Amino acid sequence: MKILDVLQKEAIISDLKAQDKKGILEELVAPIARITGVNHKDLVRVLMDREQLGSTGIGGGIGIPHGKLKQLESLALGFGLSRKGVDFESINMIYMSSIWGNVRWFKSRDLSQSTRKILRSTLS
């Protein structure tokens, strides 16, 4: 599975406005909620619950908040870029959220390749 096959254009936010972690997550899941029909608050809750276990920041200005929600039948992705940066427990700038239901896996190699492609198209 390639992330660009799952990530819908409507779920890409090229200029996140939020100034804190919860705000970033609320902004990221808004299009996912519209696309999937899943309650916005449920999506934010599952991502915040995962953040409580430890930051999903992976370094280099990238955070990948993710979680599992039984109401979803497939992988749902959102991508956002914060041009100002946000305190995300020392991680800022680029965010991709993933929330899945009955999806078993996806390749981290695909994630890194897709992130580079999205960045090139977003920043150009």
Catalytic residue ranges: 66
Exposure on the CB side of residue 56, measured as CA atoms within 13 A: 21
Residue 7 CA: distances (Å) to CA of 35, 88, 96, 116 = 11, 22, 10, 14
Q: Which residues contact 46 (CB under 8 A, 6 or more apart)?
A: 67, 68, 69, 99
How far is it, in rounded angstroms, from Cα 55 to Cα 84? 20
